[in-house]
Every structure is written in C-alpha cells, then in structure tokens.
Structure 1
Amino acid sequence: MPGLVAVTGAEGFIGSHLVETLVRRGHRVRAMVQYTSFASWGWLDRLDAEVMAQVEVHPGDIRDPACVLALADGATVLYHLAALIAIPYSYQAPRSYLDTNVTGTLNVLEAVRTAQTPRLVHTSTSETYGSARTVPIAEDHPLQAQSPYAATKVAADKLVESYHLSYGLPAVTLRPFNTFGPRQSARAVIPTIISQLAAGATRITLGSLAPTRDFTYVTDTAEAFVALGTAPASAVVAEVFNAGTGTEVSIGRLATDIMRLMGAHASITEDPQRLRPKDSEVVRLVCDAGKLRARTGWRPRTDREEGLRHTIEWFQDPANRAGYRPALYHR
C-alpha cells in the first residue's frame, strides 16, 4: 500500500519529477531540499498545488546527519538522489563532491540503519563505467572513474554495497544513463542546445561532438526509481540496476536532430573550454537494462524523438526559460 516515502534531492530535475510520480501513485512524500537563505524549494516551487498538498518539505543538507535522520524517520522507502553532478565543476572543486556525494551518502546509510527504513533506493550514474569496453553496458561492466565526480559516485556505490554486506541494510542501486527532459539545468547538453536555439543563436557552442550517449526521458527514469522502491525485496535488494533505452546517439547528431525539430538553422562550434581533459572524456555509453526489465517489468515508454519534442515545447515557453543563460557556459 502507498505510504510515506522520503526523497533527497527532491528540488532537482529528476527529484522533482520523482516527487510528482510518487504523489500520483498515492504516496505522501517527505522531500528534502537543500537549505538556502532564499527559502527556495527549487523545482518543487513550480509543481501543481494538488501535488504539493501531499508533500512535506524539509529544508536541510545531506552533509548534516541530523537532517537526514529526521528525513528517514517513519519512511517506508528513502530515495536518495541528492548529489553534486556537474562533471566540469568537479575538476575545479573535487572536495565539495567528496563531502556531498560520499559523506552525504554515508549519512543517508546511517540514517536508514538507525531508523530501520525498510528500503533505500540509491542513485548511481552511468559515468561510473567510464568509456564502454563492451556494449551494451551491463551491470557487470568494470567501473572506471574518469572524473572526480565519477570517483565520488563509485565510492558512494561501494559504501552502499558495504552497508548491505556489513549490516544487512536493505538497499538497491539504480544506475541511470543520461536523463533529459523539462527542468534540466543548462549544464547538460540537451538544454544547452535547446536554450541557445530558442534564444535565436545562429551559432551554438558545445563540447566534443563525437561521444555517444544513451538518453532516457525523465518520466521513464522516475518510473525506474518507483519500480525499485516497490518491487519485492527478494527481486531487487542488494543489487545494481541500469536504466536506459539501449540506443545511442552522438552529440553532433543530437544537435542536428534538435535543430530539425525546432526548425532552426545554426552552425555548431566545439568550444575548447567545454572539452573534458583527453583521458577524462567518456567516449561511449549505451545501456543494457535487461536486468531491470526482467525483475520489475520496467521499460522506457518515451522514445528520444518524442522526449525531445516535449522538452523543446517546455523550453519554448519564455516563463520556463527564465533564469537560463544560453550564452554562458554552465560548468
């Protein structure tokens, strides 16, 4: 039966969509948002009132153990999404990624252990695999951290694994490939392309055009979280699951597809400051989500072109673009 669930990172791109999905499934949601003096709840501020009526917002910080323990108390599932995620910024501020992604996850694990939360769904990332050695990438693919961000996520994943093996903590890890959709920040490639074109740019600047990625629409990623939070424990606990479509597209081809869908024409320039260090670039990511499909029945329902159309429509509303700075490189 639906009950009270907790979400860290609830104010973010994927987190806000997960909150919506959980509420529409009948859950009450206790949502942790990072405290700021602006009293902002991030994207939760933009959700429908009937959704927010079922959401209890907890401003706090996962780096503070007391905040996380208060969040976990009485929850039937804790979905842990809070993290620093921008890869380029991790080159500049690696310690902050360690504090948030590793120490923050340790605090979540201790809170779940103390509160005896029946299930933790932890968020990993396909970046932990590094450049594909074999494709599609299944969960037994070797891990290779090619950025400080990826290294902190590998560390967090291994902490989760260790807490299950050491304490029997009922955790499951979801490893989404590249998620996209409305509300995504401009540090990601699809909003970068769309926001530049929507602002009338005749030349768009990107990083490397050659790498390929497996893009999953955000509502499908949210459904993957719910699938792992509600599946029988015997089917999922203590395991890692990929979520992706199994299809890949190069960044250059993605840009031309978006231009076609927007009816726009622009040249594409590789901006040197947007390039990762040579050995840090993850060249190819394509997902094998067969294990998640077999254990839970999950599958993506929105293909890339349909998802791009939804995302473009959202960004074409000037009210939604407020706060985006298309000409600025967002690390």
Structure 2
Amino acid sequence: MSNLSGKTILVTGADGFIGSHLVEHLVRQGFKVRAFSLYNSFGTWGWLDRVAPDVQGSFEVFSGDIRDPNGVATAMRGCDVVLHLAALIAIPYSYHSPDTYIDTNIKGTLNVLQAARLLETERVVHTSTSEVYGTAQFVPITEEHPLVGQSPYSASKIGADQLALSFYRSFGTPVTVIRPFNTFGPRQSTRAVLPTIITQLAAGKKEVRLGKLSPTRDFTYVADTVKAFQAMAESPNVLGEVVNFGSGFEISIEDSVRTIIDVMGVNAQIVSEEQRQRPELSEVDRLWAGIDKAKRLTDWKPGYSGHEGFARGIRETIEWFSNPSNLALYKADTYGI
C-alpha cells in the first residue's frame, strides 16, 4: 500500500500538460486530489476539461492564481502533500516578458513554501527543470552539475529551486526538488519541439519548420514523469535533495524529426528558420540526464528508455495528435512561443 493512501494531494499547475496527466495518474491510484487551476473568467480548467472519462468528476478543482498568497494558502489548507508544478515555462516568451517569470516562478514558489511552513504540510515536491544546467559541461548530467542561467526562464527556475531548498535548510520545511528533463506526450504545447514537428506533419505540411537542429535532448515520456512525481512524494530519502528524472537517452533534434517522419510514414523536408532559434549564447546545446540518484533514492525507473522507448512514446503521442478533434486545438501554421 502506498504511503500516500488516505492523504489529500494538491497539484498546482494541474491545468497544464504534465499537471493534467499527473491528476489522472493520482486519481487512478485511488488518491484524493485537489487540482489548482489558473483562474479565468471563462470558467475553463485548461487540460483538466479534457481528462479521460474515467477520471472526470473524481477530483476537486480550485481556481486561483499561484501569484496570490491568500489563494495559495486557501488551496493548500487540508492538503497533506503539495506537488508544485505551476510555472511559466516557454523560453522565447521569457526573453520579452521576464517580469512575469519572476512573479510566477519565484514569487509563486515562495507562496507555496510560506503556506507549507504555516500549515505544517507533510511534503512539498517542487518542480525544477533540466534547463537550469545550461549546456552540458559533462555527461551524463548529474545533480552536481553547475547551474547556468542561459535564459530568463532558467534563471527564474534556479531562483525558485534555491528558495525551495533554503526553506528546508532554514526552517526544516519538508521540501524535495524534482528535476525532470524534456517531458513529451499528448497535450503538450507546440512551444515545445516534438509537438511542433508532429502538428505540422499531421496537418499535411511538406516542410517541417524548426529552429536549430543540432542540440540534443533527453526526451522523457510523460507517463514516466508522472510516476517520478509519485516516487518523490513517497520516498523517505529525498527531503532536501534535488533528483534528476529522464530517460537516460540522448537524441538530436534532427534525429528526433527523422524518427517522427519514419513513424508517421510521410515525406517531408526539414527547414531551419532563424526566427525559431534562440540567441546563440542562450541555446542549450546538450542535455542528457544522469539518473543514478533517482534509482538509488526512489523505486522509480524509466519505462520508456533508449531509442525503442523514445519511439514508443512518439507513437503514442502521434496517435493522440492525429485525432482531428485534438489537432484542431493547435495552430500548425503559427510559430507559437
């Protein structure tokens, strides 16, 4: 039996890509889930509006804003565990709107930490990102790798991570930091590269328009990432620790495109566009996760590993995006940041 049994779990950022999958996973595990969704006047709950039928109606939704201390504390009241995913994550958008990243990613995290300290929350799992490492200085990238802010986004996440760890060291707040590498899967925004490729091809495009093709990434299928969150919520060994989670497999953007083209059975040319490229010193050229610590401190291991696992995750992602009702939610003709 899970040591989360009988606990109430708050998921911030539950209306997003990973958050909605995480809510589905936790509900299916039999946990009581409160999903924190960004308030809007349309009354919509992001991807929570489109969760699987077996999950609909089986969780509570709290509409608020992670930047609002009172709303965050209200949402956390009565919750035993907080899985904190709410963040602004698009790198290009951070170039021209960095203030919003500081407010959301750093101040939002502070609100969660302050409330956790006040309410004596049993555990906070704070979400980091592999972008905090910058371009790999050695591989595989371990948790000891230097932190390098190569974009305002990554700098804001470094700040949020350090703030979370400071609450553990200063006040004994039971915080742990999960550092996922490049998660992909159904529902992901086209500000990420794999959905950009898939939506263009699914819309019948004969040219795939991308940024730089040479960078490598450690793409992790979303099913593995959500299991990593549960592992970090349950493990007795991870308080005050930062733990990487990835597939342990490195592939270039160009080879990723070719894998997708092969799986979809289409013919297409790859075009690299300057507007889709990051400024030279901001581009993270190489990411490859070292996951030995995750395997040592938790019972987690990737189910989608190596090229075979990557291709299997790609097939499942393509199947979702190829559904016309899902594809209609995306703008394949537009470069989204």
The reply to whether TM is greater than 0.5 is yes
For 1:248, the aligned partner's letter is E
For 1:281, the aligned partner's letter is E
Counterpart mapping for 1:1-331 below 5 A: 1-232=5-236, 235-302=237-304, 303-331=309-337
RMSD: 0.8
Maintained 8 Å contact 1:3/1:26: no
CA displacement at 1:71 relative to structure 2: 1.4
State TM-score, norm by structure 2. Answer: 0.96
Query: How many angstroms apart in 1 are the aligned matches of 2:52 and 2:280?
Result: 44
Gaps of 5+ in 1: none
C-alpha distance 50-260 of structure 1, shift in aligned 2 (>3 A): closer
Query: How many angstroms apart in 2 are the aligned matches of 1:49 and 1:63?
Result: 31
State TM-score, norm by structure 1. Answer: 0.98
Query: How many angstroms apart in 2 are the aligned matches of 1:27 and 1:54?
Result: 10
CA displacement at 1:49 relative to structure 2: 4.2
The C-alpha deviation readout for 1:172-193, integer Å capped at 9, x for no partner, is 0000000000000111000000
More off after superposition, 48-57 vs 301-310 = 48-57
CA displacement at 1:26 relative to structure 2: 1.1
For 2:328, the aligned partner's letter is A
SS of 1:51's equivalent? coil
Query: How many angstroms apart in 1 are the aligned matches of 2:34 and 2:115?
Result: 14
SS of 1:288's equivalent? coil
Query: How many angstroms apart in 1 are the aligned matches of 2:9 and 2:61?
Result: 12
For 2:271, the aligned partner's letter is T
Query: How many angstroms apart in 2 are the aligned matches of 1:53 and 1:2?
Result: 18
SS of 2:36's equivalent? strand
SS of 1:236's equivalent? coil
For 2:300, the aligned partner's letter is W
Query: How many angstroms apart in 1 are the aligned matches of 2:9 and 2:75?
Result: 9
The C-alpha deviation readout for 1:246-295, integer Å capped at 9, x for no partner, is 11110011101100000011111111011100000000000011111111
Query: How many angstroms apart in 2 are the aligned matches of 1:183 and 1:237?
Result: 31
Query: How many angstroms apart in 2 are the aligned matches of 1:18 and 1:7?
Result: 8
Maintained 8 Å contact 1:128/1:153: yes
SS of 1:169's equivalent? coil
Percent identical: 54
CA displacement at 1:51 relative to structure 2: 1.5
For 2:55, the aligned partner's letter is V
C-alpha distance 292-13 of structure 1, shift in aligned 2 (>3 A): same
CA displacement at 1:48 relative to structure 2: 3.1
Query: How many angstroms apart in 1 are the aligned matches of 2:292 and 2:56?
Result: 34
CA displacement at 1:321 relative to structure 2: 1.1
Query: How many angstroms apart in 1 are the aligned matches of 2:135 and 2:118?
Result: 38
Maintained 8 Å contact 1:2/1:25: no
CA displacement at 1:202 relative to structure 2: 0.5
More off after superposition, 295-304 vs 271-280 = 295-304
Aligned length: 329
Query: How many angstroms apart in 2 are the aligned matches of 1:15 and 1:147?
Result: 23
